Amino acid sequence: MLIVDSVQNAKAGHPGMALGMAEVGYVLYRHAMKYNQRNPDWINRDRFVLSAGHGCLLQYVCLHLAGFDSVQIQDLQRLCKLGSRTPGHPENIVTRGIEVTTGPLGQGVANAVGIALAEAHLAARYNKPDAVIFDHRTYCIMGDGCAMEGIAHEAASLAAHWKLHKLTLIYDDNHNTIDGPTSLAFSEDVSARFRALGWNTITVENIHSDLKSFKDALHLAFNETERPTFIKVKTLIGKLSGKEGTSKAHHGTFNEEDVKKMRERINWGCREPFHVIPMLHREMQEQIDNGERLEKEWYSKLYAYQSKYPQHVAELRLLLSNGLLPGWENLLPKWNMSDPVDATRGYSDKCLNHLAKVLPGLIGGSADLATSNKAYLHDHGDFQSNSPWGRNIRFGVREHAMGGISNGIALHGSGLIPFAATFLIFSDYMKNPIRLSALSHAGVIYIMTHDSIGLGEDGPTHQPVEQLAGLRAIPRLLVFRPADGNETAGAYKVAVKNRDRPSLIALSRQKVQANLEGTVSEEVQRGGYVISDNSGGQLPEIILIGTGSELCLCEMSARKLREGGRRVRVVSLVCWRLFDWQPREYKERVLPSNVIKRVSVEAGSPVGWREYVGREGVVIGVDEFGASGPYSEVFKKFGFTVENVTKVAETLLCK
Amino acid sequence: MLIVDSVQNAKAGHPGMALGMAEVGYVLYRHAMKYNQRNPDWINRDRFVLSAGHGCLLQYVCLHLAGFDSVQIQDLQRLCKLGSRTPGHPENIVTRGIEVTTGPLGQGVANAVGIALAEAHLAARYNKPDAVIFDHRTYCIMGDGCAMEGIAHEAASLAAHWKLHKLTLIYDDNHNTIDGPTSLAFSEDVSARFRALGWNTITVENIHSDLKSFKDALHLAFNETERPTFIKVKTLIGKLSGKEGTSKAHHGTFNEEDVKKMRERINWGCREPFHVIPMLHREMQEQIDNGERLEKEWYSKLYAYQSKYPQHVAELRLLLSNGLLPGWENLLPKWNMSDPVDATRGYSDKCLNHLAKVLPGLIGGSADLATSNKAYLHDHGDFQSNSPWGRNIRFGVREHAMGGISNGIALHGSGLIPFAATFLIFSDYMKNPIRLSALSHAGVIYIMTHDSIGLGEDGPTHQPVEQLAGLRAIPRLLVFRPADGNETAGAYKVAVKNRDRPSLIALSRQKVQANLEGTVSEEVQRGGYVISDNSGGQLPEIILIGTGSELCLCEMSARKLREGGRRVRVVSLVCWRLFDWQPREYKERVLPSNVIKRVSVEAGSPVGWREYVGREGVVIGVDEFGASGPYSEVFKKFGFTVENVTKVAETLLCK
């Protein structure tokens, strides 16, 4: 009735799934899950992920009944109201007790796989036969929509490959989606598919009349030691609502007449809306006492661990704070002008492998491009079912799941620092999880190589053009495009520091032309800075602004212009957002308003550059698809040569 | 040897798959497929899609041997060279005989499903028992990467649901991906999974020693009348190359020593590189003669059809030209200021349903949001296995496959005009196929509703912010954000006209506030135009620029400012790209450079707006994530009120 009352009161929300899955929620929060509502962040709690995020009312009601402070009756009464703790989809940053932000279907399944991976990894690294610190289960509810989404399939395939047996996926098989019966578009045998992937599958025929069958299923899942478990629970969407079993129950309020009938059918009488029967509160009190006890017991284990394994406990404690060893930044490599040049993905390789030594939580991998992305932690093994301590994750060609899984790892909250690597073009396959990293404060580091038409022969299907523009527009995300070794190190510095914000580092396939004299690792945190200027005390006549592999073009062009007697400044705009956040005076110092002759050079879409070059400036960018050919010829075709940049600058100077 | 010679010559390319699948290519082009190399566009040809697009050398070599003009020896010698007809991944717009542009893995599988859907649909609508016009098969090769990608899974699920039995998917099971053996990340039983989806599955154990087993499999597929067929072909990647059976053969050149050995193993002797044995040419000549005969026979059928079914032939011919009935635009609805207001998705509903009457090729659907998107063609039935003539496609919750399938439908080249609908936020799930529409000249119409924070209660996971910026940056794509009924009709007019370019129409969930006096359907094609101005012969003091649901805010704010004696212009910037393409004088007329006081109002990311408001202007946008709450409160919170726009404008005017 809390579900119904909340929806009727809000005149919004998705009651259907919440009603159909009420028993599942009850069993999970009352009987199955191990957690402490007094400390929702207890690290060894069981995790619950609602992949069918629109059913969040189920979760809000469960959290309320289970005694979480975060969801009071007045919060249920403010469902979907601006600023409430009960928004239309669950957000981990708004409501304590919510693990991840879900809503876009299928994401939660991948998040749950990431959480289960984190548990398996940490258990393998830190548990001792006589001191088990990490030992929790991960439960995830998915609906028909999640079952259809490709990301859920990708993640499920990996979960079985990794034998994440502590993961239980509960499939709300209610035969309805928004548009009608699932038969409109869905005729596969979902359980058989999961079996083909390597899952343990169980069907619960009638949970509405037989709670025990579901409890038994959970028990079987608990005892499974190899495969993750998929429990298909046949439910009646919008049970008792008068719209039960139809897609009409999916979202929106109910007919008041139907609500009246519902009250009659369950003998609810004329209790006020939002009434909770005291017996239920009393029953859940047991669970609350239990939660506190469980966490206490866990702490005793941790203390025992501390005395028995003092050599490991420091690292463990470091992880459980935020994973950042004091002074970790200092280990990042530095480059001199005389060092041999490399692609920025090569510099990234070195940074990543240095970081792996000082950051015990650094873990991640690539979507089958580890060698091309140069995103492999040497000497740290592969995370596989027989080596879960390994720190290199082999995602296969599954970019979308890689993003969702990385979010799960980050939001496990155990100090792990996930990185996820692919070609920049394939950020397209994982755009939504990147966005969700930003929304849910997951500090994932995205390593995106082959970051422009400069990738050459693979051609326009593989050459990013508009990706940077789209990614830079994602709120909160930091997008870096470093120009050389020191800027790459600087980007990692900021990315690692920002544990509640994702970063994306765009890196070149091709060698950059130099380690530049003026680039400074420390300046990357400002987003933009002057790398060279021959103007002395005066204002420059022109400013060339570049990023990544094109910054060097700016610098070389500046030299030519200076030879011609011009006062030229070169600015690296390595991260727009960080630059935008600088104080006005700093920005004015780097890009003085009185210098209106500006040229930006970036081998990507011009969209957004006008902000920095102003109306009179020139944007050298790519506003069409790339071309297959050797990199230098492709660059030439699109105007990314010293000659062209110089010519454009000279024309502007003569205006 | 042509494969090897091409790669050695180009010093680039992906020979491994091409070598491993050479027999498959040979059987398909020599024995299985029906096509006419003299007219690669013959509408009833069998279609071949290489989802593992990096293996394009296989396709180039097959096209060459099969006698397609588009791939001559000199084209093979220019593999991966700038401007060649043999780019690093296959592009339909570059090489005749290539059906779709592939490379991003999994896309081709969805394209093939779309092509098979188009065939099934047209066959159901136009074939007669005694006159079969549409009757071709679709073949698709996918690799391990495609098998892992979610989009391929989504598309495969739909193919079985729709019983597309003329679709044959050939899985190159070579146990290798770029990073190494597939066992790194892939342990599922792929055939069992396809069976769970409803596919007919066949395994070919050793094609390299037994061509017949593969021919038999194709024969079984041919005789299947219900299920699509999945043929797992076990192959040796990089066969004979010295790197066979390993991921080292995946891409890159071979050791010259190994090439020598290879020549020895097949007794190639010292033939020159790029030599083709004459016998093969003679053999393929049969296929060429055959192709011409097949098309001729088909034309006789078409003539017979014409005489027997004159009432249908006009529509059929219309489709086979470009599907656009002369004067179709005139049927689009028009709105007056006095008409009741609606959400722009409501106006879209009316446009779409009017268009369905005059455009026989209009076909499409939604990813389980038909009602919310208002993208349903009333009285035109659902495309289902028992009603393939239906024009509404139920994609289920599979946005990514929806995009890829729509590209396949468009590139079937039969005059079908596909539309694909979902919430704008979920363009994130289908970003890559939208991009590929633009790259491959597929005239898909994307209908994206719930286009801003204005969607309200569903909250930030469902509220697009950065999507418009990212989409506008995609080359060639037309992104519209119409403000009312007439602009929506105008957007459809341009979208439908552009048969070789995709369009995306962003539409509001919430009602707009008025059908505006100044909006003009015909002006939409210019991308931007003045909707009101009280400046008389003078220049305006300020220009307010809006799109979509915020254009009305601009207009109402302008009225207030005018009441205060100000000269104010309001500009609708409904499609940036179309406006950018206008002659300089037109743009100057709409946005005169001398009017530097400008305010843009759009409930989305500010990225890109500076181009139009200039340095001194103000961008009212959303640079953070949205919020769950009633729409009007959310709009207010983010400053989208007449009051705020007026205040911002007044402040600017007083500067």
User: Which residues of A fall within a CB distance of 8 Å from B396?
Assistant: 148, 177, 182, 184-186
Instruction: For residue A281, give both structure tokens.
Output: 């509160």
Start-end of H helices in B526-625: 551-563, 576-580, 584-590, 610-613
Task: Give Rg (Cα) of chain A.
Answer: 27
The pLDDT-based confidence of B210 (bands split at 50, 70, 90) is very high
For residue A200, report the phi and psi dihedrals to the nearest 5 degrees.
Answer: -80, 125
Per-residue pLDDT averaged across A71-82, rounded?
A: 97
Q: With CA atoms as reference, report the closest residue to A510 among A397, A595, A633, A592.
A: A633
Q: How far is CA B618 from the centre of its chain?
A: 35
B31 DSSP assignment: I
Give residue A606's pLDDT: 98
Neighbours of B456 (CB within 10 A): 26
Range 627-646 of A in CB contact (< 8 A) with B:
627-630, 633-634, 637
Strand order in the sheet with B542-546: B529-533, B568-572, B542-546, B598-601, B618-620
Q: Could you report the per-residue pLDDT of A43-57, keeping only the tens digit for each?
A: 999 999 999 999 999
In terms of CATH, what superfamily is B328-506? Thiamin diphosphate (ThDP)-binding fold, Pyr/PP domains (3.40.50.970)
Q: Could you report the per-residue pLDDT of A174-198, keeping only the tens digit for each?
A: 999 999 999 999 999 999 999 999 9
List b or e across B372-390, with b for residues whose CB sees 16 or more CB atoms inside 10 angstroms. bbbbbbeebebbbeeebbb
Beta strands at A392-394 and B200-204: parallel, antiparallel or unpaired: unpaired
Minimum distance, in Å, between the CA of residue B327 and any CA atom of chain A: 32
Query: Which residue in chain A is spatially nearest to B618 when comparing CA positions?
Result: A611
What ipTM was assigned to the predicted interfaces of this complex?
0.98
> Is A368 within 8 Å of B628 when comparing Cβ atoms?
no
Q: Is A608 in contact with A576 (CB distance < 8 Å)? A: yes
User: Which residues of B fall within a CB distance of 8 Å from A148?
Assistant: 154, 157, 368, 396-398
B149: amino acid identity, one letter: E
The domain segmentation of chain B, as residue ranges, is 2-292, 328-506, 524-653
The pLDDT-based confidence of A312 (bands split at 50, 70, 90) is confident
Q: Is A166 in contact with A137 (CB distance < 8 Å)? A: yes
Give catalytic residues of A, as residue numbers.
Answer: 399
Percent of chain A with pLDDT over 90: 95
Residue for token digits 């779409």?
B352
Better-predicted residue by pLDDT, B323 or B116: B116
Per-residue pLDDT averaged across A78-100, rounded?
A: 97
Q: Is B580 in contact with A606 (CB distance < 8 Å)? A: no
What is the dotted CATH code of the domain comprising B524-653? Answer: 3.40.50.920
Q: Could you report the per-residue pLDDT of B149-167, keeping only the tens digit for each?
A: 999 999 999 999 999 999 9
A328: amino acid identity, one letter: W
Q: With CA atoms as reference, report the closest residue to A446 among A474, A473, A414, A418.
A: A418
> Is A89 within 8 Å of B185 when comparing Cβ atoms?
no
User: Which residues of B fall within a CB distance of 8 Å from A154?
Assistant: 148-150, 153
Give residue A331's pLDDT: 87
Range 484-543 of B in CB contact (< 8 A) with A:
none
CATH class label, A523-653: alpha beta
User: Which residues of A fall within a CB distance of 8 Å from B146?
Assistant: 397
Q: Could you report the per-residue pLDDT of B467-515, keeping only the tens digit for each?
A: 999 999 999 999 999 999 999 999 999 999 999 999 999 999 999 999 9
The pLDDT-based confidence of A311 (bands split at 50, 70, 90) is confident
Beta strands at B598-601 and B618-620: parallel, antiparallel or unpaired: parallel
Q: Is B79 in contact with B14 (CB distance < 8 Å)? A: no
Q: CA-to-CA distance for B88 and B251, rounded, in angstroms?
A: 11
Does A500 carry a binding-site annotation? no
Q: How far is CA B584 from the centre of its chain?
A: 31
Percent of chain A with pLDDT over 70: 100
For residue A365, report the phi and psi dihedrals to the nearest 5 degrees.
Answer: -175, -165
Range 351-370 of B in CB contact (< 8 A) with A:
366, 368-370
Q: Could you report the per-residue pLDDT of B395-445, keeping only the tens digit for each?
A: 999 999 999 999 999 999 999 999 999 999 999 999 999 999 999 999 999
> Is A474 within 8 Å of B466 when comparing Cβ atoms?
yes
Give residue B373's pLDDT: 98
Q: Which residue(s) pair with B204 in the sheet? A: B233
Q: With CA atoms as reference, report the closest residue to A170 among A122, A204, A196, A208.
A: A204
The pLDDT-based confidence of A323 (bands split at 50, 70, 90) is confident
Give residue B323's pLDDT: 84
Q: CA-to-CA distance for A408 and A125, rounded, in angstroms?
A: 18
* A14-55+105-292 is a CATH 3.40.50.970 domain: yes
> Is A475 within 8 Å of B466 when comparing Cβ atoms?
yes
B425: amino acid identity, one letter: I
> Is B428 within 8 Å of A431 when comparing Cβ atoms?
yes
Q: With CA atoms as reference, report the closest residue to A186 among B221, B384, B164.
A: B384
The pLDDT-based confidence of B288 (bands split at 50, 70, 90) is confident
B43 DSSP assignment: T
Q: Is A203 in contact with A232 (CB distance < 8 Å)? A: yes
Per-residue pLDDT averaged across A99-109, rounded?
A: 98
Note whether A14-55+105-292 and A328-506 share their fold. yes
> Is B371 within 8 Å of A53 when comparing Cβ atoms?
no
User: Which residues of A fall within a CB distance of 8 Å from B460?
Assistant: 87, 89, 91, 439
Per-residue pLDDT averaged across A360-374, rounded?
A: 97
Q: Could you report the per-residue pLDDT of B518-565, keeping only the tens digit for each?
A: 999 999 999 999 999 999 989 999 999 999 999 999 999 999 999 999
Give residue A458's pLDDT: 96
Minimum distance, in Å, between the CA of residue A73 and any CA atom of chain B: 18
Q: Could you report the per-residue pLDDT of A557-586, keeping only the tens digit for each?
A: 999 999 999 999 999 999 999 999 999 999
Q: Could you report the per-residue pLDDT of A601-640, keeping only the tens digit for each?
A: 999 999 999 999 999 999 999 999 999 999 999 999 999 9
Give residue B577's pLDDT: 98
Q: Does B588 touch chain A (CB under 8 A)?
A: no
**CA quadruple B388, B391, B395, B401: dihedral sign:** positive
Q: Is A54 in contact with A103 (CB distance < 8 Å)? A: yes
Q: Which residue(s) pair with A167 in the sheet? A: A138
Rama region for B106: left / alpha / beta (φ>0; ψ in -120 to 50; rest): left
Neighbours of B196 (CB within 10 A): 21
pLDDT at residue A655 above 90?
no
pLDDT at residue A556 above 90?
yes
> Is B473 within 8 Å of A605 when comparing Cβ atoms?
yes
Q: Is B59 in contact with B98 (CB distance < 8 Å)? A: yes
* B2-292 is a CATH 3.40.50.970 domain: yes
Q: Does A605 touch chain B (CB under 8 A)?
A: yes
A387 DSSP assignment: B
Q: CA-to-CA distance for A84 and A94, rounded, in angstroms?
A: 8
Nearest to B154 among A91, A146, A150 (CB): A150
What is the distance in angstroms between the CA of the first residue and the CA of the last residue of chain A?
73
Q: Could you report the per-residue pLDDT of A398-413, keeping only the tens digit for each?
A: 999 999 999 999 999 9
Q: Is B109 in contact with B152 (CB distance < 8 Å)? A: yes
Q: Does B577 touch chain A (CB under 8 A)?
A: no
Q: How far is CA A47 from the centre of its chain?
A: 17
Q: Name the average pLDDT for chain B.
A: 96
Better-predicted residue by pLDDT, A289 or A138: A138
Per-residue pLDDT averaged across A423-445, rounded?
A: 98
Q: CA-to-CA distance for A588 and A543, rounded, in angstroms?
A: 13
Give residue B30's pLDDT: 95
- Best probe of the A interface among B78, B226, B466, B634, by most A CBs < 10 A, is B466
> Is A87 within 8 Å of B193 when comparing Cβ atoms?
no
Q: With CA atoms as reference, report the closest residue to A157 among A105, A117, A111, A193.
A: A193
